[in-house]
Each structure stands twice: as C-alpha cells, then as structure tokens.
Amino acid sequence: MKQILSGNESVARGCYEYGVHIATAYPGTPSTEVLENIAKFPEINSEWCPNEKVAFEVAMGAAFEGARSIVVMKHVGLNVAADPFVSVSLIGAPGGLVVVSADDPGMHSSQNEQDNRFYAKFAGYPCIEPSDSQEAKEFIGQAFDISIRFDVPVLYRMTTRVCHSKGIVSCGERNECGIAGFFPNPQKFVVLPSHARLRRQWADDRLQKLMEFVETSDLNRIDDGNGDIGIITHGVTYQYVKEIIPDFPVFKCGITYPLPVEAIRKFAHDKKQLLIIEELEPFIESELKTAGIRCEGKKYWPHCGEMSPDTVTAGLILAGIRKAVKTVPVPEPVIPRPPVFCPGCPHRGVYYILSKLKARVCTDIGCYTLGALPPLNSGDTCVEMGASIGVAVGMAKARKTGRGIVATIGDSTFLHSGMTGLLNAVNDNAGITVIIMDNSITAMTGGQLHPGSGRHLNGSEAPKMQFAALCQALGCDRIKVIDPYEIKQTESVLKEALNSDELSVIITNRPCALYPHENRRLVRQAPFRVNEDQCIGCHACMRVSCPAVSESDNRTAKGKTKSHIDTVLCTGCSVCAQVCPVNAIERMSENNDFRKDP
Ligand SMILES: Cc1ncc(C[n+]2csc(CCOP(=O)(O)OP(=O)(O)O)c2C)c(N)n1
C-alpha cells in the first residue's frame, strides 16, 4: 500500500510497522505531528508529557522494561532532556530507545539554531538522518535494530524540511514485538560512581563496535556518477544535490555519527576533490578532517541557516564547479504578515494593561510572546521555556525591589519548567508579579494537551491540575484568578500587584479562542461592530492589536479614519469595546449574528 505522507507522519507509520509499544513527547515545531499521528494507532501507548525530560525518562523506563520506546521533541527540547540523555549512555536501552530530535535550520519557529548531531557524539550514540518520507519510515526499523543490538539509544535527527515535506511511502503491516521485561542488574541500571566507572569502558567498547558496524551499514550508500569530484552529503541536502548535480558521485550518509570513515576514504580514493555539502555546522567535515581525509565544505557553504537548492548552487559556483548564471528574482508568493494575537485571544487584555502600566515584562515562550511586538510592545526579555520567573527574580535582586517587575508565563510553559522558578521566587521572598496565562492548552504549537487540560491524548478524562492550588502548595499566598476579558478588573489587580513588595500570582482563566474545548460560548459570542456615527477616529481600539479591527473607508470631520470591525473575524471578546472612550463599539444582537456557532 502506498500513501503520501509527511516526514513526521512517516515516523509515526514506522513506529506502527516496527512494533513500537510506548511513545512520549512534548510538543514543539517541527516535531509535533509525530506524536499526534502515532496516537492514531491504538496499538501504541502514546502520551504528551509535561516536558521533554519527563518524556525522555518515561520512554527510558519503558525501554528498561524491554519495550520498544520512542520519545519525540524539537531540537531545544533535547537541551531540557540532556541530563537523562547523556546519563543513560552508560546504562543502555535494552528494549530499544529512539530519540527523535527535530532540528530547525533557519529558525522557522525556534528561538535558536543548533545542530543536534553534536549531542550524538557527546553522548556516544549513533545519529540517523533520513532524507525523505520513505526513509523517515524505514530508518525507524533500522534505528530500533541498532538500539537493541548495541544496547544504545539512537538519536533520530530530522529537520524542518524532512518533517514537513510530503512524499510517497510504501507501507506495510505491523510487526508485533514482545516486551521482554526488566532484568535486575544494579551494576547496569544504578549509576553509582563505582558502577558507572565500570560502565565507562563498556560504553567505549560499544562505540568501537558501532564504528565497525557503520562501515558496512546500508543506511549509508553510494550513488555512482561521472567525474572525479565526489560529494558527501546527508539529510535533505541530499535531495538538493541530486536535483542540481544529478551526475556527480555521491556518498549519502544515513548515519552521520559515527561516520563510516574508512568507506568514505575508499570513496575518496579516486577523486580529485571531495566536497562536503551539509546543513548547519561542519560536523561531517570536521570528522573527516580529523581522520586525515582531505575535503572542503564550509569554505563554500554557509554554516548557519537552512540549505536550499539556491545555497547549494551558490556554493558550487564559489567552488568553480558551476558557472554563475543571471537569474531573475522571483517575488515572494505570499505577502509577509507579522504574527499577532488571534481575535479573541485571552492574552490580549493582559498585555494591553501591561503596556499601559509600562511594566518591566520578563516574558516566556508561547503565543503570549507576541505581546512584545508593536503596538503592545510589552515584553523586555524572552530566552527559553520557563526562564521568565527566574529572570524576573534576578532583575528584582539587582534592583533590590520586585515592584513593577512582571513575569508572564503560559500554562503549558509553567508546568514544563516554570514551577521551580516560582518555588525559588517564594523562597527568595521576591516581590515580583507572576502572571500565569491559563488558556487550558499548549496553544502555540497547535493546541496540545497538558496536565491542566483535563484530558488524555486518546480523549479520555484526566485529572485536571488546578493552578491556584498548585501555586498555594508552592508557598504563594497572594493568588488571584481573573478573567482577562474584564479589562477594568485586570487593570486594578495588576496595578495592586505591581505596586506591592510582596510576591503576587495572577492566574488568567479564559480558554484559547482557537481551542475552546469545553465551552465555545466562553470565547465565542455575538460579534461587535463600530457605530461610525459615534466613532471619533482616535484608534484606541487598534491599540489592542486585534486583526478584526481595521480602518474604515470613512473619515471624521477632522479627516481621521474611523474604525471598522470585521464581524466574521470578531469573536465578541469585548476588549476593544471596553477601551473605546466614546462607547462607539457595540455588540450585535444574537439575531443579527450571521456567523452562527457550528
Ligand atoms: C524546550 C522547548 N520545548 C518546546 C518548545 C515549543 N514551544 C514553544 S511555545 C510552547 C508552549 C506554549 O504553550 P503555553 O505556555 O501554554 O502558551 P500559549 O501558546 O498557550 O499561550 C512550546 C511547547 C520550545 N520552544 N522549547
């Protein structure tokens, strides 16, 4: 059976076919759809975890018990999971453990760009890199074979293009595998220093065996070609090479760590020049140069940003292999649009007030980071998931007061890595204000569930974590839960907190406008319209940054444009109406509401 699948869907299909038992993940673009698609197979026990470290540990435990386990995350997630990732190297993964890291060259949706092949080398794991959807499925089987045979976790490195591009995939049946169970062995599973020291040599021997194995593994392959310039490539870059110089001899690395150095040496033997065309860092190039193989790579190709057919061609021109040709620049097919809060987003009101109060805002990673952009301009720092509270505490220490300092953090991010920051703030008596923006979901990555959502991935009911009770248990005693659609209340609660020397926690309680799981009426009501007879053209409504509000064609007597509301986009949240100084924005009656709820 053939199907057209994205790389992420193909990994999920591979998990089904190659008998995976347990799958865990924390969402993050470009990896999110892997678990979403694995969850479609009831044979696999799959669940979102509160963060990547926990997801890794659950999969690791399942592999200790002899289950085929996979854990999925975006590249920065591996930083969060780095402790168990590196530590388990000395233990191994008897049931088979595959760690999918989806890297994001070009930073399409990430705060940084990092080449996680280095993590494989750092921890002494093999790194497998598929180039297309068919490989993304097939290599899963090989990854488990290697993991089980060598008792080693495997880093399965995808990149945005491989994750999201679609291709034809031959699909097969599920190969059911047994779960062997746990065989107690404290010297292996309990990493006391005295045990770990003994395992160190074992891990080195394992790497040696892996180095021998990769020399003949069919994960690597040679495409014969003409001429005496040899190309070494990997991942999606292989596709660009085949498109641009299809006749060149190519050594395609399906395993980029350890590299099949001797096989490459043999390939290079009759070549005048060896070119390494790889995305991001000179990983292959450095490994080969260390092994004494003469090659060139980053001399011609960039070491940052995403590769494309154009960058591959530009490097070939620099290397003198291709002649420069005059090209006509093609206009971007899509007009760029800055990201903004959706209509009805519960974060809008909070940021409108923070902006008005000119607070120092240490924000975090999520939809609410958009509050840092114009016109709200309310976000002074944003580093990585969970950093907001710690950064706010640090600023307060340096200033000797927490007054006026706010940490804004989403519900998913708070559960991911914000809780310990709050615990530290309590312990430090930091007088900052923490706003937990509870929209019931992990919105930015597409509405994935978390322990505060009250549901499992398979739709069944789950215990719903209560944020106020959690914060109280962490030692906070000034906790307020507010409706962020109520602008006056939001302003007075925020003002009081910002002017205090005590630690205040404010929890907002409106669901995300796009994923109102329990009650659509909480976020979708009759829309508003502008009464143009009353509009004075002050544009106060535009300062709340809602895509439903724009300029009308009509002007006031003084020549100012009046406001207009797109009633199809408007969710009826009322924030714009509350900030209008002349009450010119009015709710349409239910009977008038042509955009009926489905
Ligand atoms: C370590 C890490 N894991 C995953 C991500 C991807 N990611 C970006 S924001 C976010 C969470 C957003 O959810 P939440 O905090 O609830 O805010 P919301 O988007 O719902 O407003 C995630 C998972 C990331 N940037 N870093």
Residue nearest to atom 6 of ligand 1 (CA): 28
Residue nearest to atom 1 of ligand 1 (CA): 77
**Cis previous bond, 186, omega within 30:** no
Write down the pLDDT at residue 519.
67
Mean pLDDT rounded to a whole number for the chain: 95
Write down the pLDDT at residue 492.
98
Q: What is the mean pLDDT of residues 60-71?
A: 98
CA of 527 to the centre of ligand 1 (A): 29
Write down the pLDDT at residue 595.
46
- Could you identify the atom of ligand 1 that is nearest to the CA of residue 79? 1
- Contact at 8 Å (CB) between 21 and 69? yes
Residue nearest to atom 4 of ligand 1 (CA): 28
CA of 411 to the centre of ligand 1 (A): 9
Residue nearest to atom 3 of ligand 1 (CA): 77
Kindly report the CATH class assigned to 347-521.
alpha beta
Write down the pLDDT at residue 218.
97
**Quick one: tokens of 89?**
């190297």
**Quick one: tokens of 391?**
């950064």
Judged against a pLDDT cut of 90, whether residue 127 lies above it is answered with yes
Residue nearest to atom 15 of ligand 1 (CA): 410
Q: Phi and psi for 478 in degrees, rounded to 5?
A: -105, 90
- Could you identify the atom of ligand 1 that is nearest to the CA of residue 409? 15
Judged against a pLDDT cut of 90, whether residue 335 lies above it is answered with no
Name the least confident of 41-50, 305-314, 336-345, 370-379: 336-345
- Could you identify the atom of ligand 1 that is nearest to the CA of residue 365? 9
Judged against a pLDDT cut of 80, whether residue 117 lies above it is answered with yes
**In the 8-state DSSP scheme, what is residue 248?**
S
Write down the pLDDT at residue 598.
34
Write down the pLDDT at residue 594.
42
Architecture of domain 2-214: 3-Layer(aba) Sandwich (3.40)
- Contact at 8 Å (CB) between 29 and 74? yes
Decide whether any atom of ligand 1 lies within 6 Å of the 36 Cβ.
no
Q: Where in the chain is the domain with CATH 3.40.50.920?
A: 221-318
Q: What is the mean pLDDT of residues 312-321?
A: 96
Residue recorded with tokens 């209509």: 343
CA dist., res. 211 & res. 221, Å (int): 16
- Contact at 8 Å (CB) between 437 and 506? no
- Contact at 8 Å (CB) between 243 and 223? no
Decide whether any atom of ligand 1 lies within 6 Å of the 562 Cβ.
no
CA of 444 to the centre of ligand 1 (A): 6
Write down the pLDDT at residue 518.
65
Judged against a pLDDT cut of 90, whether residue 263 lies above it is answered with yes
Q: Where in the chain is the domain with CATH 3.40.50.970?
A: 2-214, 347-521
* Strand duo 479-482 + 549-555: pairing: unpaired
Decide whether any atom of ligand 1 lies within 6 Å of the 413 Cβ.
yes
Residue (of 143, 144, 91, 155) closest to 117 by Cα position: 155
CA dist., res. 570 & res. 548, Å (int): 6
Q: Where in the chain is the domain with CATH 3.30.70.20?
A: 524-592
Decide whether any atom of ligand 1 lies within 6 Å of the 442 Cβ.
yes
Q: What is the pLDDT of residues 548-560, one digit of tens each?
A: 999 999 999 999 9
Write down the pLDDT at residue 517.
65
Q: Which of 112, 442, 508 to mutate to test the pocket of ligand 1 (most atoms within 8 A of CB)?
A: 442
Write down the pLDDT at residue 531.
96
Write down the pLDDT at residue 279.
98
Decide whether any atom of ligand 1 lies within 6 Å of the 444 Cβ.
yes
Percent of the chain with pLDDT over 70: 98
- Could you identify the atom of ligand 1 that is nearest to the CA of residue 369? 21
Decide whether any atom of ligand 1 lies within 6 Å of the 74 Cβ.
yes
Write down the pLDDT at residue 329.
80
**Quick one: tokens of 261?**
């150095």
Q: What is the mean pLDDT of residues 291-310?
A: 97
Decide whether any atom of ligand 1 lies within 6 Å of the 136 Cβ.
no
Kindly report the CATH class assigned to 221-318.
alpha beta
Percent of the chain with pLDDT over 90: 93
- Could you identify the atom of ligand 1 that is nearest to the CA of residue 444? 19
Judged against a pLDDT cut of 70, whether residue 446 lies above it is answered with yes
Write down the pLDDT at residue 293.
98
CA of 384 to the centre of ligand 1 (A): 9
CA of 108 to the centre of ligand 1 (A): 14
Q: What is the mean pLDDT of residues 367-375?
A: 96
For 160, 364, 499, the CA distances from 495, given in Å and listed in that order, are: 43, 21, 6
Decide whether any atom of ligand 1 lies within 6 Å of the 363 Cβ.
no
Judged against a pLDDT cut of 70, whether residue 591 lies above it is answered with no
Write down the pLDDT at residue 442.
97
Q: Phi and psi for 46 in degrees, rounded to 5?
A: -125, 145
First-to-last C-alpha distance (Å) of the chain: 36
CA of 562 to the centre of ligand 1 (A): 37
CA dist., res. 199 & res. 193, Å (int): 10
Decide whether any atom of ligand 1 lies within 6 Å of the 76 Cβ.
yes
Residue (of 281, 309, 286) closest to 114 by Cα position: 281
CA dist., res. 433 & res. 225, Å (int): 64
Decide whether any atom of ligand 1 lies within 6 Å of the 345 Cβ.
no
Q: What is the mean pLDDT of residues 287-313?
A: 97
Residue recorded with tokens 């070119």: 275
Kindly report the CATH class assigned to 524-592.
alpha beta
- Contact at 8 Å (CB) between 541 and 563? yes
Write down the pLDDT at residue 523.
74
Judged against a pLDDT cut of 50, whether residue 596 lies above it is answered with no
Decide whether any atom of ligand 1 lies within 6 Å of the 80 Cβ.
yes
**Quick one: tokens of 312?**
């591959």
Judged against a pLDDT cut of 50, whether residue 597 lies above it is answered with no
Residue (of 57, 35, 55, 56) closest to 46 by Cα position: 35
Count of CB atoms within 10 A of residue 362's CB? Answer: 27
CA dist., res. 73 & res. 100, Å (int): 6
